[in-house]
Amino acid sequence: MIESLLIANRGEIACRIVRTARRMGVRTVAVCSEVDRNALHARLADEAVVIGPASARESYLNIGAILKAARETGAAAVHPGYGFLSENADFAQACRDDGLVFVGPSPDAIRAMGSKSASKEIMRTAGVPLVPGYHGADQDPAVLQRAADGIGYPVLVKASAGGGGRGMRVVERADQFEAAVAAAKREAKAAFGDDTVLIEKYLQRPRHVEVQVFGDSHGNAIHLFERDCSIQRRHQKVFEESPAPGLPDATRRAMGAAAVAAAKAIDYSGAGTVEFLLGQDGGFYFIEMNTRLQVEHPVTELVTGLDLVEWQLRVASGEPLPLRQDDVRQDGHAIEVRLYAEDPGRGFLPQTGTLNRLTMPAEGPHVRVDTGVREGDAISVHYDPMIAKLIVWDHDRPAAVRRLTKALAATVIGGVNTNRQYLLEIAAHPAFAAGEVDTGFIDRHAGDLLPSSQPASDRVLALAACQVLIERRAAVAAAAARSADPWSPWNLTNGWRLNGEAVETVRFRDGDAPVEIAVRHRGAGWRLTLPGGEMDASAEAEADGTLAADLGGRRIRAAVIADGDTVIVMDGGRAHRLLRHDPAAAAAQDTGGGKLTSPMPGKIVRVLAKAGDTVRRGTPLIVLEAMKMEHTIAAPGDGTVERIAFQVGDMVEEGVELVAISAT
Ligand code: MV4
């Protein structure tokens, strides 16, 4: 086994590689730019070498500086991660020339797959299906027209030198072809300095399904099943999952076999991905091969139970593949999403700034978080603005989708705008639940995915209010259980009052609009005054996290996820986000310094905590009644209650200290 490994990358992938290397007893060397000196990847590795300024060209893409770092630290091998130099054949060659093991395929294999036309020729020879098309050097207009007529319309005219979807043009009819080719050539010449085009059968709304392959230096190659990466925005993957929803088993087997044939055709060693377009007719066609570990590899790890970086290191050390094809299983369903610092409301403009809050969901068998940043780190202009990858697993797709929704709801990122809500909208979309994933998904549902200007319905507001009221009820019950006299009427949870009917309020912010819901207790439930009128409601929280509610006599089951200041209501296949808006709590928070003061003159009607209690941000502490309304004073952060200065029944002036908390 390799004894030491230099990781020529940064961010989450560098951290992820360190983790496996450490588990395998491999010493790790990080390289970093000057601004990344204190970055997580540099901290996690056994050793870190600063190789140049922030600009990637002078650091993470600087072959000379990386090889120098390898020499100086005595590293035996180099892992390129993804991006940067990972598919640079010259870098792979330079590592070899320096006596370093390159954790990846041979320079020849990288080169062969680096060219679109050459890779397709190799695949054709190997019997891997290609989209019917013309890739010839003869660019005579009459030749191209005959090719297109032979393929049958619609056809796609692609710039040979283009990539990532640039320079593509759909032609619907034969009589439009000549003009379209002329325009495509002009564009290609201007954009790439090369006006060679290729003609392909145009597949309507295909799916992007890729197969993970692995080869070793003993001539073995197997696949580790597929990933569906059809949900993309401008050729950037947004969701990745395995298995591909609804893929017939026969197609899965055929794609696996084709991918293995592709790997064998170039004597492939290490981790690779064979990308296919899957047509609506069920046919699949090779598009390209990526000769590296991919961003979305954790999806494969969660359904196979394998560690792909471990496999890479074993294979690079000359070991044979750890398993045979028949021993690899695809179990359950995994989904990955990429959290980016970007602003969906402004054309997904990348955001820079400091991550002053970063709370990711707890990791476990169902949730994995791959990140290279921590709270307080900066997202800078120099590198990719990805903050983290969230990967979930469960026994089937519907359960995995629920896990994903909850994990996204539990994610709190402050300091930069992110695509979190956008991801949540996709996860909650009925078309996604139905597995209707193809490359047109985002365009087709664009109107549903961006923050809507539609105000929340009474039904959504009622569900959110029920959630808040249940939480208050639980907090009061917990306080009663702790109190000396559990039977005191002050500890009743049904809004009992000595004189007259109490009105409680629940406040939200819906987009920019404040919403106030008056609540009167009615037996085990509540009468809510909503924007559209009165509604009787009752609700119980179920063990699976859903809310079983009765709204005006209708039984409703909905997922309502309370997440710090945010309440997300999943209803009608959409996620509705409301912010808890409690002016009293906000006023209390503003005082800072762990002191909670009375926002207005009033009477203490409940005391929900006592000195010594450990409380979390948002834990209700005291309820103040003022102007016929109740105001809940909640903990502004995690901490311990130092003292509570008042008892139930006390009158308080504005600005007096009600509770003192010391932060933990
Ligand atoms: C296609 C296609 C339809 N028909 N080829 C876009 C980028 C490049 N990797 C291949 N691409 C496509 N090629 C034929 N013959 C549709 C696409 C395509 C696409 C492919 C994969 C993932 C997302 C996509 C989004 C739009 C179009």
pLDDT tens digits for range 493-511: 555 544 446 678 899 988 7
Residue nearest (by alpha carbon) to ligand 1 atom 2: 203
Supply the pTM of this predicted model: 0.75
Shared domain for 160 and 298, answered yes or no, is no
Shared domain for 580 and 603, answered yes or no, is no
**Residue of 170, 198, 235, 443 with the most ligand 1 atoms within 8 Å of its CB, for mutation:** 235
C-alpha of residue 155 to centroid of ligand 1, in Å:
12
What's the rounded mean pLDDT across residues 350-368?
93
**Residue of 439, 441, 444 with the most ligand 1 atoms within 8 Å of its CB, for mutation:** 439
- CATH classification at residue 345: 3.30.470.20
Residue nearest (by alpha carbon) to ligand 1 atom 22: 208
H/E stretch holding 432: helix 430-433
Residue nearest (by alpha carbon) to ligand 1 atom 7: 165
Q: Which of 449, 471, 504 is the last residue of a domain?
A: 449
Measured between alpha carbons, how far is 221 from 218 in angstroms, rounded to an integer?
9
Does residue 638 fall inside a structural domain?
yes
Q: 3-class DSSP state for residue 654? A: coil
Shared domain for 526 and 389, answered yes or no, is no
Q: Which of 449, 480, 510 is the last residue of a domain?
A: 449
What's the rounded mean pLDDT across residues 116-143?
92
C-alpha of residue 334 to centroid of ligand 1, in Å:
24
The shares of helix, strand and coil residues in the chain, as percent rounded to the nearest 5, are 30, 35, 35
* 590 has pLDDT over 70: no
* 381 has pLDDT over 70: yes
pLDDT at 490: 56
Shared domain for 436 and 566, answered yes or no, is no
* 413 has pLDDT over 80: yes
- CATH classification at residue 501: 3.30.700.40
**Residue of 131, 201, 207, 277 with the most ligand 1 atoms within 8 Å of its CB, for mutation:** 277
Pick the atom of ligand 1 nearest to 285's CA. 15
Bridge partners of 333? Answer: 394
Pick the atom of ligand 1 nearest to 288's CA. 9
C-alpha of residue 152 to centroid of ligand 1, in Å:
18
Does residue 427 fall inside a structural domain?
yes
* 570 has pLDDT over 80: no
pLDDT tens digits for range 310-320: 999 999 999 99
Pick the atom of ligand 1 nearest to 235's CA. 23
Shared domain for 271 and 399, answered yes or no, is yes
Residue nearest (by alpha carbon) to ligand 1 atom 6: 165
pLDDT > 70 in the chain, percent: 92
Pick the atom of ligand 1 nearest to 201's CA. 15
C-alpha of residue 245 to centroid of ligand 1, in Å:
19
198 contacts 134 by C-beta, under 8 angstroms:
yes
Shared domain for 76 and 26, answered yes or no, is yes
pLDDT tens digits for range 461-477: 999 999 999 988 887 77
The DSSP letter of residue 428 is T
Shared domain for 578 and 605, answered yes or no, is no
Pick the atom of ligand 1 nearest to 202's CA. 4
Residue nearest (by alpha carbon) to ligand 1 atom 9: 164
Does residue 357 fall inside a structural domain?
yes
What's the rounded mean pLDDT across residues 233-255?
96
pLDDT at 418: 94
141 contacts 174 by C-beta, under 8 angstroms:
no
Does residue 403 fall inside a structural domain?
yes
Query: Which band of pLDDT confidence, cut at 50, 70 and 90, is reported for residue 593?
Result: very low
586 Cβ partners below 8 Å, 6+ apart? none
Mean pLDDT rounded to a whole number for the chain:
90
Bridge partners of 563? Answer: 566
Does residue 120 fall inside a structural domain?
no
Shared domain for 467 and 537, answered yes or no, is yes
Residue nearest (by alpha carbon) to ligand 1 atom 26: 439
Domain count within the chain: 5
Q: What is the 3-state secondary structure (H, E, C) of 348-369?
A: CEECCEECCEEECCCCCCCEEE
pLDDT at 588: 41
Q: Which of 350, 372, 361, 371 is nearest to 417 (CA)?
A: 350
- CATH classification at residue 598: 2.40.50.100
Query: Which band of pLDDT confidence, cut at 50, 70 and 90, is reported for residue 261?
Result: very high
What's the rounded mean pLDDT across residues 217-241?
96
Domain around 141: 132-201
* 486 has pLDDT over 80: no
* Cα–Cα separations (whole angstroms), residue 357 to 352, 353, 354, 378: 14, 11, 9, 11
pLDDT tens digits for range 318-347: 999 999 999 999 999 999 999 999 988 888
Q: Which of 615, 40, 41, 663 is nearest to 375 (CA)?
A: 40
* 587 has pLDDT over 50: no
Q: Which of 585, 618, 650 is the last residue of a domain?
A: 585
Query: Which band of pLDDT confidence, cut at 50, 70 and 90, is reported for residue 586?
Result: very low
C-alpha of residue 165 to centroid of ligand 1, in Å:
6
Shared domain for 438 and 352, answered yes or no, is yes
Residue nearest (by alpha carbon) to ligand 1 atom 14: 202
C-alpha of residue 204 to centroid of ligand 1, in Å:
9
Shared domain for 214 and 320, answered yes or no, is yes
Active site residues: 292
Does residue 241 fall inside a structural domain?
yes
What residues does ligand 1 touch, defined as CB less than 6 Å away? 131, 156, 164-165, 200-203, 206, 208, 232, 235, 277, 287, 439
Shared domain for 397 and 344, answered yes or no, is yes
pLDDT at 420: 93
Query: Which band of pLDDT confidence, cut at 50, 70 and 90, is reported for residue 557?
Result: confident
Measured between alpha carbons, how far is 519 from 529 in angstroms, rounded to an integer?
7
Query: Which band of pLDDT confidence, cut at 50, 70 and 90, is reported for residue 87?
Result: very high
- CATH classification at residue 181: 3.30.1490.20
Q: Which two tokens stand for residue 394?
A: 């469960």
**Burial group, residue 234, by CB count within 10 angstroms (0-12, 13-18, 19+):** exposed
Pick the atom of ligand 1 nearest to 232's CA. 23
What's the rounded mean pLDDT across residues 18-36?
98
C-alpha of residue 208 to centroid of ligand 1, in Å:
8
Shared domain for 291 and 380, answered yes or no, is yes
> Strand 657-663 relative to strand 595-597: parallel, antiparallel, unpaired?
antiparallel
Residue nearest (by alpha carbon) to ligand 1 atom 15: 202
* 217 has pLDDT over 70: yes
Measured between alpha carbons, how far is 466 from 528 in angstroms, rounded to an integer?
9
**What is the identity of the amino acid at 534?**
E
Measured between alpha carbons, how far is 441 from 428 in angstroms, rounded to an integer?
14
Give the other-Cβ count within 10 Å of 644's Cβ.
21
Does residue 363 fall inside a structural domain?
yes
C-alpha of residue 448 to centroid of ligand 1, in Å:
23
Does residue 124 fall inside a structural domain?
no
What's the rounded mean pLDDT across residues 279-292?
96
